[in-house]
Structure 1
Amino acid sequence: MRFTVTDADTAAALGSGSLPVLGTPRLLAWCEAATCAAIEPVLAEGATSVGTRVSVEHLLASAVGQEVEVTASSVYADGRLHRFTVAARHLGGNGKVVASGEVTRVVVDAERFLSRL
């Protein structure tokens, strides 16, 4: 997935810092979005997935206007449990790694899950 950092994505806007650079909460959301897209093709009708564990290192700052590519690759699947490695890189000339880590998702029946709340 590709994203462009906007003012709304910054640490200052998200309350996770005071600088006008990509905020870690937005980066985590992008990583989770990539895992949702990666798992979507294997979900049965009525099923969805929920995030249960995230471990991501935010390694490099990204300025407003910077394009970032986020990828998710399945590394483990056992029944309802799915684990993905995630990576974010700057697009354009340098391709530097912005973040890397792992996201775990569990497949659930959406209706049943919501009925338990």
Structure 2
Amino acid sequence: MEIPEFPPGLSARVELTVTDADTAQTLGSGDVPVLATPRVLALAEAATVAATARHLPGGITTVGVRAEIAHLIPSPVGHHVHALATLTKVEGRKLYFDVVVRHDDDLVAEVRVERMVLDRQRFIQRAIG
């Protein structure tokens, strides 16, 4: 498998308007009606996927293998948040991203995500056994 070029600085932004389905109450990660930390992580991962999408040839994908999150402030239902992922480092098949999640100018969360480049079919075959 030939690993594609991923230039550091590569970035992408994804957006979300918080709904009841995104809350800690609904996802079971707490009992408050605000953006759940697992949903923040999913948004951050979506931004990393979007950042690499244009650079992946057919048959190659990336999967998340590690994440570190600091969820700093609550975002109630109706708030519009966005995640900006920036590729900071590439080591062989490992891609390292810094992601910031914001509501307007407020920093909602900081997330570090590590993804691994791999052969999509081989991964699926190993997963299903």
| TM-score bin (small chain) | over 0.9
**Aligned equivalent of 1:98:** 108
Identity across aligned pairs (percent)? 47
**Aligned equivalent of 2:60:** 47
Task: Quote the Cα distance in structure 1 between the aligned partners of 2:120 and 2:111.
Answer: 26
TM-score by length of 2: 0.86
Runs of 5+ unmatched residues, structure 1: none
**Aligned equivalent of 1:116:** 126
Task: Quote the Cα distance in structure 2 between the aligned partners of 1:42 and 1:82.
Answer: 13
Task: Quote the Cα distance in structure 1 between the aligned partners of 2:91 and 2:54.
Answer: 16
Query: CA RMSD of the aligned region, Å?
Result: 0.8
TM-score by length of 1: 0.94
Runs of 5+ unmatched residues, structure 2: 1-13
Number of paired residues?
A: 114
Whether the 8 Å contact between 2:41 and 2:111 is mirrored in structure 1 is no
Give 1:111 deviation, angstroms.
Answer: 0.3
Task: Quote the Cα distance in structure 1 between the aligned partners of 2:65 and 2:108.
Answer: 22
